[in-house]
């Protein structure tokens, strides 16, 4: 039984509505329904009365209390383990799915404490690494375009700052009609299909990409199945385009002869807005590290010549 499904069931219980719960979880409504059906199959219990306004059944209500207890116990255990690890490892932990050489090098010369990068899963919630105490700082795609997530960050007692430190590349198979172009212009992307990082990050990726290129292009989006950017070594994108950090894209696609990469649109580099988040009231070491990390991200944004996240759309 996957803890993810238990967590989704707890969220569903607050709404008793698949659409609203799926929106909070950043997954498709059908995916949430399937996951809860899997829970029912695994437990042999009918948890949700779909014929009665999606109310919890009596056994569903009992199961909900048990799920909350189990998840709470698991999170407490993870927290104790993390605190034990911190006692022997005082490094500042920075969660990031694809740290770049430029960021690591610059941070190494400026930060006043040992640090390490912590992996985070594709499509996981922006605050997951902080919630589970796997990291002191988290670099995630900006959630400023989603007011609900901004409110959640504040409710969690998180501080955050935004920057665009990672230039992106557009990746496609060489069989794609656009692959023969020497360079891409914004109109070339009209009605293109963009592969997202997965089902969990679908809505977030859709909003960021639409803000970047503009609604008038009428982009389509398809959930991908990649688990990390290393999957670029083997993935077949089919007719879709994928936006990925430039460094990871070139590293993973260098040995492939069937992919085409474009590092600018209309002759300009581009990147998604990112955020660095941390807990307010953290130790002085973490607070200083957060300020240093954000300063490094802003410097790289300037050095890379990354335009404002909406400039490409505005220019078009």
- Confirm whether 155 is domain-assigned: yes
Residues 50 and 192 in one domain: no
Residues 161 and 175 in one domain: no
Flag whether pLDDT at 201 surpasses 90: no
**Helix axes of 29-43 and 18-25: crossing angle, nearest 10 degrees:** 100
Structural domains in the chain (count): 3
Percent of the chain clearing pLDDT 90 (strictly above): 69
Mean pLDDT of all residues belonging to the chain: 90
Residues 159-173: tens digit of each pLDDT: 999 998 899 999 999
- Confirm whether 26 is domain-assigned: yes
Please give the average per-residue pLDDT across 78-85, as a whole number.
80
Residues 28 and 152 in one domain: no
Residue 145: per-residue pLDDT: 76
**Binning pLDDT at 50, 70 and 90, where does residue 122 land?**
confident
Flag whether pLDDT at 89 surpasses 70: no
- Confirm whether 154 is domain-assigned: yes
Flag whether pLDDT at 44 surpasses 80: yes
**Boundary residue ending a domain (22, 46, 79):** 79
| Pairing mode of beta strands 115-118, 137-141 | unpaired
Residues 241 and 177 in one domain: yes
Domain range for 223 is 168-262
- Confirm whether 315 is domain-assigned: no
Flag whether pLDDT at 63 surpasses 70: yes
Residues 144 and 219 in one domain: no
Residues 97 and 55 in one domain: no
Residues 195 and 252 in one domain: yes
Residues 254 and 183 in one domain: yes
Please state, as a whole number, how many other Cβ atoms lie within 10 Å of the Cβ of residue 74: 13
Residues 224-278: tens digit of each pLDDT: 888 888 899 999 999 999 999 999 999 999 999 999 999 999 999 998 889 999 9
Residues 135 and 158 in one domain: yes
Flag whether pLDDT at 19 surpasses 60: yes
**Which of 83-87, 150-154, 205-209, 218-222 is modeled with the greatest confidence?**
218-222
Q: Where are the beta strands (DSSP E) in the chain?
A: 48-49, 55-56, 92-95, 115-118, 137-141, 158-163, 168-173, 193-196, 220-223, 241-245, 259-262, 274-279
- Confirm whether 316 is domain-assigned: no
Flag whether pLDDT at 55 surpasses 90: yes
User: What CATH number is associated with residue 155?
Assistant: 3.40.190.10
Q: What is the per-residue DSSP string for 94-137?
A: EE-SS--HHHHHHHHHH-SS-EEEE---TT--TTHHHHTTS-SE
- Confirm whether 118 is domain-assigned: yes
Residue 314: per-residue pLDDT: 55
User: What CATH number is associated with residue 20?
Assistant: 1.10.10.10
- Confirm whether 102 is domain-assigned: yes
**Boundary residue ending a domain (55, 79, 103):** 79
Residue 257 DSSP symbol: S
Please give the average per-residue pLDDT across 82-88, as a whole number.
66
Is residue 94 within 8 A of residue 136, CB to CB? The reply is yes
Residues 39 and 68 in one domain: yes
| Closest listed residue to residue 229, CA positions, set 206, 252, 208, 200 | 252
Residues 121 and 181 in one domain: no
Residue 227: per-residue pLDDT: 82
Residues 156 and 182 in one domain: no
Residue 83: per-residue pLDDT: 73
**Of residues 87 and 91, more confidently modeled:** 91
| Closest listed residue to residue 146, CA positions, set 7, 4, 24 | 24
Q: Which of 108-117, 147-156, 253-262 has the lowest mean pLDDT?
A: 147-156
- Confirm whether 314 is domain-assigned: no
């Amino acid at each position: 039984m996957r803890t993810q499904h238990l967590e989704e069931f707890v969220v569903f219980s607050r709404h008793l509505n698949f659409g609203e719960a799926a929106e909070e979880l950043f997954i498709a409504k059908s995916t949430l329904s399937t996951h809860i059906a899997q829970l029912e199959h695994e437990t042999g219990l009918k948890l949700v009365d779909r014929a009665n306004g999606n109310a919890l059944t009596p056994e569903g209500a009992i199961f909900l209390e048990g799920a909350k207890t189990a998840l709470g116990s698991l999170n407490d255990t993870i927290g104790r383990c993390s605190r034990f690890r911190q006692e022997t490892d005082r490094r500042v932990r920075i969660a990031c799915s694809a740290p770049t050489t430029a960021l690591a090098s610059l941070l190494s010369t400026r930060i006043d404490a040992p640090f390490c990068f912590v992996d985070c899963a594709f499509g996981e919630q922006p605050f997951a690494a902080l919630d589970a105490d796997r990291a002191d700082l988290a670099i995630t795609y900006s959630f400023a375009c989603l007011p609900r997530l901004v409110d959640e960050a504040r409710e969690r007692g998180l501080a955050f700052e935004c920057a665009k430190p990672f230039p992106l590349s557009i990746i496609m198979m060489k069989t794609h009609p656009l692959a023969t172009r020497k360079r891409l212009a914004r109109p070339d992307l009209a009605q293109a299909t963009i592969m997202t990082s997965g089902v969990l990050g679908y809505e977030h990726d859709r909003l960021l990409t639409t803000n970047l290129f503009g609604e008038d292009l009428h982009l389509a989006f398809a959930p991908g199945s990649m688990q990390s950017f290393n999957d670029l070594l083997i993935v077949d994108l089919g007719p879709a385009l994928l936006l990925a950090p430039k460094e990871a894209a070139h590293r993973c696609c260098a040995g492939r002869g069937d992919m085409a990469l474009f590092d600018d649109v209309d002759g300009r580099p581009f990147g998604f807005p990112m955020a660095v988040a941390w807990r307010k009231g953290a130790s002085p070491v973490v607070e200083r590290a957060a300020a240093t990390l954000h300063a490094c991200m802003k410097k790289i944004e300037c050095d890379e010549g990354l335009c404002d996240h909406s400039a490409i759309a505005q220019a078009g």
